[in-house]
Structure 1
Amino acid sequence: MPFTKRLIVALVLATATAAFAAPTGTAQQAAGAAQCANRETPPPPVDTSEQPAPGQKAPTPLEVPEKPVGGDRLGECGLILPPNQAQPPSGITAVSWMLADMDSGAVIAAYDPHGRQRPASVIKVLLAMVVAKELRGDMVVTASAEDTQQECTCVGLKDGGQYTVRQLLHGLLLTSGNDVAHTLARQLGGVPNALRKMNAMAKELGALDTRAVTPSGLDAPGTSTSAYDVALIFRGAMKYEEFANAIKLKQAQFPGRNGGTIMLTNDNRLLNNYVGAIGGKSGYTDDSLHTYVGAAERNGRRLVVVLLRGQQQPTHITAQAAKLLDYGFGMGPGGVGKLVDGAPQPKPKVVPTQDSNTPDDAAAGDSASGRPTPTAFGTVGLPITAAAGIGLLAAVFLYIRNKRAKAARARRQAAQAAQGI
């Protein structure tokens, strides 16, 4: 075969080998995401609650981390169990759920833990956490007319009525008062500022699937969370004494609209019928369906359970939570992932010195995001791509050397002809 044809064949083979043997990480991620219906956003809404206001656009979906927070297996969207573990109990209607050890952080079982769903009133745990961090429990707050006009469920605040932050936390967590949520958001600097603080807290914890768009959990454009994030947020909130004391109360006295006091009763059924229950929060909207987060302790071990987008039939959502807690307490300490202790930190950016011969940051990768920069042949097959490049250089070198040899022979033949040899 002539050399030119051999060169062309070598170039084609080298390029094809590199391209097909080294699929890009982005392509692999896209293929995995295609199998998980709610990897980026919750399911479509069933009503008009998430339609943007006139002249406004819906927020763009939250970015999906390249690596699942808490471990690679938590990126799976089906049932995730340790090896040789018995199947979970039947009758669980939630499309996304998770069990985790609150102290060790081990995720011991899950189903689509990073699937994005709507939180409903479970997001009040995040609001309460920010309140517990920033406001004193004995601080006195005056309710406004706007607070009393929120879409209920409501505790029944009185315009001009005065309440301590501790009392408002009881109304928020025991009976899920939306009027109370608005009042506390005002004390955090107003609703937009309260939401900014809630979302900053979520990001700080590593709850990267979560975006609060209302302080109460009512549906609105862009709302999002996941079972993993709810567990992470509840675990973080339980570290605040004001929150932990409030969430476990079965009842609490609250100032009445017409003077005197009324009795608030906790709507978390597990406090009364599950031995070891230490608190929880439920929620519901037409779009989110039934949501729940709760925790219990047995033999010194504390587990948190989360259920999102569940149904009340044939079993109440809290009874489903109880079944999962029993299942979790029967499992060993091993896990399939971990509740992180803070948001994953980006890799430090390397700035090359003037004398450095290393490639610039763009070639080395996007250090700010921790993701490698995509290349022509992807990020997975770098060794193969490098080998292909070496092959191309070798082929070019042989081609140039062959041309020079032919030119030298031609010159010698011309010189011999001129001398009559």
Structure 2
Amino acid sequence: MTMFDVSPRTTDLHARLTAFMDEYIYPNEAEFHRQVNEGNRWEHVQLIEDLKPRARAEGLWNLFLPPASDPRGEFGPGLSNLEYAPLCEVMGRVWWAPEIFNCNAPDTGNMEVLARYGTPEQQEQWLVPLLNGEIRSAFSMTEPEVASSDATNIQASITRDGDDYVINARKWWTSGAGDPRCAVSIFMGKTDPNAERHLQQSMILVPMDAPGVTTERMLTVFGYDDAPHGHAEMTFQDVRVPASSILLGEGRGFEIAQGRLGPGRIHHCMRLIGQAERALELMVERSGQRVAFGKPLAGHQHVREAIAHSRMEIDQARLLTMQAAHMMDTVGNKAARGQIAAIKVVAPNVALRVIDRAIQVFGGAGVSQDTPLPMMYAQARTLRLADGPDIVHTETVAKEELRAHGVDLRRR
């Protein structure tokens, strides 16, 4: 038995999830876009709402939630990261599918934060409704004025005033804020700019309807607005929330961010592998149908090379992702930071290469709305930035390697 053997319950869930995708998701891709584009683009999509109860009834709900966050198994099957990996990959094949199973970002990361670090009162108010799919959430970390890949650069202020905190900031790329059901955002800012560098930041729960919270505009990603999910630029002007809204305590924001972003990053990578697999399937199918210079594209060596390299690269990325998941399960997220950083670089770049090859094989159709490839490409490219750019993660990998060999990087 290897560390990557699939458990019987994952095998069962994988079969049921695949059948659900075949019956309800792929046949409804055009219907999803039709519903989004009719009327107000920033209203919930009825197709998704109709499918959620069906997914929950079939036991395909909160699959992401690890046992440590749900010890009594009240809200999900309690899968490990390694068990969840192949399921997340299946859901990731269609970008809007994870929400149907309550496994969508940023809600998954926010739920894990609340489960790990929230007080019983915070969990009752926000975590339980999120786990039940009754509300949605956002995560407010990135700022337009600073390089937010280094969380210590954040300038947002969280100031104690009696029994409240007062919040002032401009944030952007607050994903999920476009959905009218988005009820709360986990906000990161500085409570003490004079503290030690990694103890200046705190995280606090901010209701989206609090006075002073304003959505200035919705941002596009390579022209896509990702409605009704969306990514907002927001201002927080003298927003007042109770002191009980702080997560874990003042100065613990950087610590929480590291705990939150580990699972979030690996989930992105799992979904990207699903995107790459689907792109490869589309490429293979197209290569057998399209004729150029008197024979199917599959008869041309350069197309076969594109298919072969895609298969090899996807399998390599999957194995690396499963290794990171295994380490997270066995030695913890902190000890696995090098492996998490590695996959966060590898998976988006592999997905980009595979999707690009598929676009080439499709020709003009590959950049049109007739295939999912353009949106897949835009999302994969974005994930070379989201949750940290490539260069930050390559630095982590290098430092871990140097540290393992006893190399001292400190000034002498």
TM-score higher than 0.5 here?
A: no
Higher relative contact order (CA 8 A, sep 6+): 1
Structure whose residues are more often helix by fraction? 2
Structure number, greater radius of gyration = 1
Query: When the two structures are superposed, what TM-score results if normalisation uses the length of structure 2?
Result: 0.25
Query: When the two structures are superposed, what TM-score results if normalisation uses the length of structure 1?
Result: 0.25
